[in-house]
Every structure is written in C-alpha cells, then in structure tokens.
Amino acid sequence: MALPASAVRAFEPPPQPERGAPARTTCPRRHSRVEAELAASRPGSVAASVRAGPPRGVSHGFHSRPLLEKPRKASSSLAGAACAPLFALLSRGRRRRMHVLRRRWDLGSLCRALLTRGLAALGHSLKHVLGAIFSKIFGPLASVGNMDEKSNKLLLALVTLFLFAVIVLQYVCPGTECQLLRLQAFSSPVPDPYRSEDESSARFVPRYNFTRSDLLRKVDFDIKGDVLIVFLHIQKTGGTTFRRHLVRNIQLEQPCECRVGQKKCTCHRPGKRETWLFSRFSTGWSCGLHADWTELTSCVPSVVDGKRASRLRPSRNFHYITILRDPVSRYLSEWRHVQRGATWKASLHVCDGRPPTSEELPSCYTGDDWSGCPLKEFMDCPYNLANNRQVRMLSDLTLVGCYNLSVMPEKQRNKVLLESAKSNLKHMAFFGLTEFQRKTQYLFEKTFNMNFISPFTQYNTTRASSVEINEEIQKRIEGLNFLDMELYSYAKDLFLQRYQFMRQKDHQEARRKRQEQRRFLKGRLLQTHFLSQGQGQSQNLNQNQSQNPNPNANQNLTQNLTQNLVQNLTQSSSQKENRESPKQNPGKEQNDSTSNGTNDYIGSVEKWR
C-alpha cells in the first residue's frame, strides 16, 4: 500500500542546518532564538514574512496562526509529526468536519477570553471610580486617621454590599409602594388608616356646637326584629355604589340573594320572608323614582305593611340614611348625565297627597329629553330641579306649600327649607359623604354594628372632575346652589365631629379593656402567690402533725395559719383599694373578712370575662 506524500514527508529525517549557520548550543531556547534571528535576517525567507506581518490594511483574523498559536516546543512538534500520518489517513469529509470543529473551539475560547478580560477591565474601572469617590468623601478622615489599605478595602466592600442591597430592594419592591423607600417612614409615625381622603388634615376646627346626643349615633339594629333601613337616594351623589355595598358587600347571617343580570336582590331577615332594607336594589322604586324625604315618610309605612290597618301594624322604627356630595361636583355630574339623555320623568314628586301641576313645576325642555344641552342652557333654566336639589330632597316640603311658590316669599321659603333639611339630616340614623368613603364606612359600621367585607374605594377621578370650568362659571354654580352649599358645610362639620367622637370613644374603650386585663393578670398572680404560700404552710402543718401527736396543738397551729392568711389577703385588698380610690370613701372602714374581698374580686374578674 502506497502512503501519501504528506506521510512520506513526515517520516523523512529532519533537514540539516545550512552551511555557515552556527552549531547548536546546549541551551535550546537560545539556539532557537539565534536560528530565528538568522532566518529573519535573510530577505525573502518565510520567517521574515511572518514577522513582518500581513500587508498594510489586511488583518490576521481571529483564526490566523500567528495570533492564536504560540511557538511549539519540541515535544509538541514530535506529537504533531506522529499524528500527521493518522490525520492523512482520514477521508476528506471527516478531515473537513474536524477542521470546522477546531475552528469553533478556537472561537469559543477566544470569546471566553474576551469576556473574562472585559469583566476584569470593568471591575478595574469600577474600582478606580469608587476609589475616587471615597477619596473625595472620606479624604479628610483618611488624612486624619491615616487609614491603611485594609480599612479602604473593608469600606469598599461595605459600600458595594449596600449598593447591591439597594438594587435587590428595587427589584423586590419597585416604585413607591414600599414604605421602606419613603423618607416619611423614618421620620413620621404610622399614618392614620382613616386619614382624610382629600389629603387634608384629619383634625379640623369645628364651626357648629353639637350636643353629645347629636354626635353619638348608636342604633340598636336587630335584623331579626321589625327595624327597617330606608335609603334616600339623591341623584349623582354616589348612592348607587353605596347601595351596592349594602346588598353585596356586607357580612350577614343570611346574605342577600342577587341574581346575574338583575339589579334587585332579595334581602330577607333570617328565618322570615320580610326585607330589612328599603332601597332600589332590594325593593325597587316602590315610592317613585328617587323619592325625597316628603314622599318616603308618607309612603314607606304603607308599602311595607301593605293593606293592614294602622292599628294592626307593628310599631316599627324606620332608620333613614343618605349620602351627600359637594354641590358643584354633583351639579356638573347631573348636567353630564342629562346630556346623555337622562330625564327622570318617572319621578312622582308627590307632596301632600298629590303630584305638582305643570304650572307649579314646568319643564325645561320641549322634546323627549334634554340630551346634548350645553352647560349655559342648563344653568339658565329657572325651573331646573338640579338647583339646590339636596336641600329640596331632604326637607319637608309640606312646610312651604309643596311646589306652590306663591304660598310665602322666596326668602322665607328658602330659610324654612334649609332649616328643615338640617334638622332632618341631624336626626337621621346615618349619613355619609362621597368625598370621605373610608370614614363613611367606619361610621356606618359603628352606627349599625354591621361590618363590610371589603373596604370602600375612594374615586377621585369622576365625570365631574373631567369638566374644566373657569372661576366665573364655578361662582355661578355656587350661586345657583347656595342652599346646598350651606347644607353641605353643615353636614361636613357634623360628619367629621361624629367621626372624631367615635374614634375617641374607641380609644377610651380600648384603654379601659387594657386596664381591666392588667388588673386581671395582677389578680391571677396574687392568687397564685397565695396558693403557693398556703400549700407550703399546709406541708409544714402535716410535718408538725407527724412529729407532735397532740391534737390541741395542731388545732391551734391551724388557726394561726388561717389568721395569717386572712390578714395577708385583707392587707393586700385594702392597699389596692387605697391606691385606686384614696379619697372616694374616707369614712368607710375596711372589711376584715377574707371571703368578702375574695368574692368581690372574683366577681369583677368574671364580669370582665
């Protein structure tokens, strides 16, 4: 078998050195260097071309032999000479695949080397930058304390750890949601969860003087009894959201049954087929669309009790509730609602047993609706019921002749309506404000002793807030609703005073419970101490009985121990009473019996439980 030419050349003897070349020295490195210099000095030789490099403008490339390979040693050249015949025996396709694999391995090693060197350069640059920063910040300290290299490294490590912790914290808690990222969390106390939703101060200066009975609203609401909650819904005050909370978001023994696609829900009392809530989502508009105070007070009893005679009707308590809103925002919201086609034509406006005539209550538009009306036209209508709507719906219209404006002068009529609305609002079981959703939830829960499942949400962006008006239009709206403006100011003052009063009452109740718990724990500790003393004395008594068989002596010893225990209990109870009330009963003598003091204490403990 004939070998290839490359294999034959591999087995040939090595070439002899040229004539005139120096003999090989004992040092192989020096000999190779001398040979290389001689070869490079000859013009036109291969070594000279390799050393000179490629022509100008041509690079070696990533896989060129001068860039990637180092000068081979003798052992590597011999290994290559031995492997060359074997490589030549392979087929052409396999040799090509092995060559491609070798090129890929060289490219991967080159990428790894570049990445390693890049990271090292980046770390070196970062070290210099941090060193410059620390030299600027801690330069005086280094000059004073003569900080050594170890302290600088330790400080650099600490700062690097801090930066790493900040980056990790940003990933774990992004944005301003995390309280640790806010400076207020380190400087101010824990914020009040019932802080004012409009970001104003929780404390305010009251303008009106209300009595304790006006501020304390505690309704004895028994859902199993005959008490009924009546919701007075004023247009565009957020009443729909609040009524939805009443039927879907309240914890009840028997929750309301709400079917999909239906607005009305069945809210029955436990074990009865009778409703406890009179509102749109439970009974519908039984007294007319958005019935006011005058209509509800005359309609609700007859609707609830049906056709039964008045003497056969149970003595019910009707607890009226409502929601108020800022007059300007409510007015703009109603205008936008009318623009979309709302008319409220189904409202009855029944007063004194009859609806108003067309002369008493004219219409502001001639078509089917008032859709698309501009704000100026909406404000120019003198018969628009949107003007002072909240006062009109909360007052007793029978006091002013219902909708007949000729009964009394306008000024007197406005005064009577405003006073009636304030009185009815103050004596209502509950009212809330749209601008204070969380406080509204809190006061309702405290008033009726009923809890909601999820907290209320404050929506600061509404359709009314999207309307941009100038100062002139705002003043005109306030002038058209001057009665509502005064009523809202009164209601807001009463609402916030009730809120503060109930919060203080809760704090006092919590403080009283903590004090009772401390007394109970102290009493248990004293009781345990006295019992341990009694057990120790009884053990001594048993030992004395075993040693002294005289029964008279044992009886005397038992009496002495009992008297000592009685004196200890009496002294402790008298000292406690003197500390708590030293000046309440100055002429009363302390009780010397143990049973009375112990029974009183146990009775107080059982009462606390």
Give residue limits of the domains in the chain.
215-511
Query: Which of 244, 238, 284, 239 has its CA nearest to residue 264?
Result: 284
Over residues 438-474, the pLDDT tens digits come to 999 999 999 999 999 999 988 877 777 788 899 999 9
Judge whether residue 235 has pLDDT over 80: yes
Label each residue of 518-564 as H, E or C.
HHHHHHHHHHHHHHHHHHHHHHHHHHHHHHCCCHHHHHHHHHHHHHH
Instruction: Give CA separation, 338 vs 59, 335, 344, 466, in Å.
Output: 80, 5, 9, 16
Mean pLDDT of the chain, nearest integer? 75
Cβ contacts of 35 within 8 Å, gap of 6 or more: 17, 21
Q: For residues 604 and 609, give the distance between their C-alpha atoms in angstroms, rounded to a whole number.
A: 9
Cβ contacts of 96 within 8 Å, gap of 6 or more: none
DSSP 288-320: -TT--HHHHHHHHHHHHHTT--TTTS----EEE
CB 433 within 8 A of CB 491: yes
The alpha-carbon radius of gyration of the chain (Å, integer) is: 48
Q: For residues 94 and 603, give the distance between their C-alpha atoms in angstroms, rounded to a whole number.
A: 101
pLDDT band at 164 (very low <50, low <70, confident <90, very high): confident
Q: Which residue has the higher pLDDT, 223 or 169?
A: 223
Supply the angle between the helices 437-448 and 482-547 in degrees, to the nearest 10.
Answer: 50
Residue matched to tokens 């000179």: 52
Cβ contacts of 313 within 8 Å, gap of 6 or more: 301, 305
Q: What is the dihedral of CA 87, 93, 97, 102, to 10 degrees?
A: 40
Please give the pLDDT value at position 535. Answer: 72
The burial of 480, by beta-carbon neighbours within 10 Å (0-12 exposed, 13-18 middle, 19 or more buried), is given as buried
CB 398 within 8 A of CB 351: yes
The catalytically annotated residue of 245, 290, 319, 349 is: 290
Note the residue count of the chain.
609
Q: For residues 533 and 562, give the distance between their C-alpha atoms in angstroms, rounded to a whole number.
A: 11
Section 287-316 average pLDDT: 82
Evaluated on CA atoms 219, 222, 226, 227, the torsion sign reads positive
CB 304 within 8 A of CB 278: yes
pTM for this prediction: 0.58
Query: What is the CATH number that goes with domain 215-511?
Result: 3.40.50
Please give the pLDDT value at position 255. Answer: 92
Query: Which of 282, 285, 287, 286 has its CA nearest to residue 269?
Result: 282
pLDDT band at 408 (very low <50, low <70, confident <90, very high): very high
Q: Which residue has the higher pLDDT, 114 or 450?
A: 450
- Is 290 annotated in the active site? yes
Q: Strands across the sheet with 277-278, in order?
A: 277-278, 228-232, 318-324, 430-433
Structure tokens at 600: 């009183």
Over residues 356-394, the pLDDT tens digits come to 999 999 999 988 899 999 999 999 999 999 999 999 999
